[in-house]
A and B are shown apart, each in its own frame.
Chain A
């Protein structure tokens, strides 16, 4: 259970969001500029709320009243960025292993094989990020986040920088991830079609406020806006 009740002023823009949701995939839906990325940056611990609280199950991650702020690196929240952000000086294998090393987790060969199979990236292990296509990069980024064994996975428009063909290539992996990985996710997108295929509950954002919350039926009828 993810509980968010935060407010943040960013220049002219004010964000005031309250919601509580339970996996598998919570969709954060809204046009660009609605505050989706600022919101998940707060969940990740990359941005501090001015006021409010964020908690997963019974653990408080942020509580401005109690002066609690758990730094990003202690949250165990995975983050897949729109631009993948693979480490250019490390090969795919080392990128995938990074989170395990930093969290001092034991090497789990079975888990590694499961994730690389799930994402079909086993053949890329010796390559550098510079030698990967956009879709491959995004799959490696997904694998890297999963292998850090997060308790929540944030995906910020992971298909946003890909063309239609690549989107079609990645979507089935995300569906498999939802059904097989067992990690609750928050999925950010402005594409209603993607949301329908993936999300199990929807938080609709407009100009920094929640305008609707519920199942996929709250999504607009048109494919995207």
Chain B
């Protein structure tokens, strides 16, 4: 039962790589967006807010198809990126990372935004009177104090990215070794005769990954809290 085959290993490794890259690229972006939503009022803010949350409420297949239309080989942005920067998303693992990043973005942003909103603005003011320019206030006060939320957002985003299925399979298909993640591998296996045991193995692997990321996030959050309360 626990004899994991090379194809399954490939899918596991690919899932981890896709989710890690998606989370690492999305995090700085997510912190920026969360800060804007938490601390700035600007024209069109409700639209930006809705747009970010859209992947959460749209059918994933719609998001995947929209990605195909924009970032696909003949898509507007896809063509430009391929011609000018040599970056191709369509049917590549990078495309899976893009789909996962977009699908997990709302889950990543939300805890970060909440924790930035919870940072006492009076501390930011105090930092200003001590000579800190706004961007240094952000780096030395706001961000460190919001760190538990950033970590929580990263873990949630990572977990969502690992489990993403609909948008990914629509955008980059289900190519073993390139775009076949754990989810799409399980999907293929349960449609294959005698695939049940292999599917179950991958199910166990997903549970292990999900559990360990939850435990890790809890551990980080506790550490960060201890740091903040100064004990």
A130–B123 alpha-carbon span in the complex (Å): 15
Cβ B129 vs Cβ A87 within 8 A: no
Asked whether B130 lies within 8 Å of A145 as measured between CB atoms, the reply is: yes
Knowing A88-B229, A128-B231, A129-B230 touch, does A46 contact B145 (C-beta < 8 A)? Answer: no
Q: Does A205 contact B (CB under 8 A)?
A: no
Are B128 and A46 closer than 8 Å at their CB atoms?
A: yes
Contact assessment for B230 and A44 in the assembled complex, using a CB-CB cutoff below 8 Å: no
Contact with B along A67-104 (1 / 0, CB 8 A): 00001111111110101010111010000001100110
Knowing A46-B125, A85-B126 are in contact, say whether A130-B132 is a contact too (CB < 8 A): no
Q: How far is the CB of A32 from chain B (nearest CB, A)?
A: 18
Decide: A89 near B132, CB < 8 A? Known: A128-B230, A130-B230, A131-B231.
Answer: no
Of B126, B130, B141, the most chain A CB neighbours within 10 A belong to: B130
Residues of B within 8 A of A (CB): 120, 122-123, 125-134, 136-137, 140-141, 144-145, 227-231
Sampled A-B contacts (15; CB under 8 Å): A72-B128, A72-B129, A73-B134, A77-B129, A79-B126, A85-B120, A85-B126, A87-B126, A88-B145, A88-B230, A98-B130, A98-B140, A102-B130, A103-B130, A129-B230
Chain A residues in contact with chain B, CB under 8 A?
A: 44-46, 71-79, 81, 83, 85, 87-89, 91, 98-99, 102-103, 127-131, 144-145, 148
Q: Rank and list the top 4 A-B pairs by shortest CB-CB distance, nearest first.
A: A128-B230, A130-B230, A99-B130, A79-B129
